[in-house]
Amino acid sequence: MADSNEPVARPQTSVTRGVLLETLSALLKPGDFEDYGPNGLQVEGKPHVRKLVSGVTACEDLIDAAIAAQADALLVHHGLFWRGMDGTLTGWMKRRVQKLLAHDINLLAYHLPLDAHPQWGNNAQLGVRMGWGAGRPIKDRSLVFQAEVTYGSGLTLGADIARKLGRTPTVIDAGKPIRQLHWCTGGAQSYFQKAIDAGADAFVTGEISEPQAHLARECGVTFIAAGHHATERYGAPCVAQLVADELGLEHQFIEIDNPA
């Protein structure tokens, strides 16, 4: 699904913005999360939605593409507003917000709720994409998922990731077979210790920072950074298509490539 930029044709029906938000809220349960930014409606647009566009990040290129696609609403994983921002609308932020308002496009963003959904979220959908299955959290409400797999080494796992995600990952190979695989999409390198403590043979996430290479070597657990964008391409279009099917909307996923 996430590899196609072609819109999925639907009857020319529409729903209110409120119905769309209620449907997403019932599915993703954003109230259950203490997040780094607001989940749900970030920029208010037109009151009725016929066409829903999904993407990973609310960057200017995606907003331009949503305008060209005649979107009424844009659903993303990475929205515009994050904890610690100064709140001013200048420069790139002004341009993004200005374009959304000028074209009356609703911006909907779901961060941790979209990572955590056990069936349609980023973690689950990455697992499905890779052939690991949707997996399950290592403990209640954890964002780290786990599954039983069979790989001869971290290098073998890294090669499988490169083949299926179309990106060469950074692999710190512990040099042993992998049976217990843990993963968390995006910038979750700080969760590596949780995976080690939970008995992982390998941990897959999007990014690597300086400490993880040392921990991998010292603890004998493979660490793989497969790309923030590359690991988080699947939740937003999956959720958007599910909701579009339920509400009778037109949906289009638009990919804006990002090497990060």
Residues 6+ apart with CB under 8 A from 22: none
Residue 42 in tokens: 């970030």
* 77 annotated among ligand-binding-site residues: yes
* 232 has binding-site annotation: yes
Name the DSSP letter for residue 173: -
User: How deeply is 162 buried, as exposed, middle or buried, from its count of CB atoms within 10 A (0-12, 13-18, 19+)?
Assistant: middle
Place of tokens 């069979």: 150
Tell me the one-letter amino acid at 104.
D
Sign of CA dihedral 1, 7, 241, 74: positive
Residue 123: CB partners within 8 Å, gap ≥ 6?
Answer: 115, 116, 135, 143, 145, 183, 184, 185, 235
- Is 228 annotated for ligand binding? yes
- For the record, the structure tokens of 251 come out as 């949906």
What sign results for the dihedral spanned by CA atoms 163, 142, 76, 206?
negative
Assess contact for 185 and 163: CB atoms under 8 A: no
d(CA 122, CA 235): 4
In Å, how far are 113, 145, 167 from 135, measured between CA atoms?
16, 6, 22
Under 8 Å between Cβ of 146 and 200: yes
Q: Which among 117, 106, 111 has a CA at the least distance from the CA of 14?
A: 106
Residues that constitute the known binding site: 77-78, 115, 228, 232
Residues that constitute the known binding site for a divalent metal cation: 77-78, 115, 228, 232
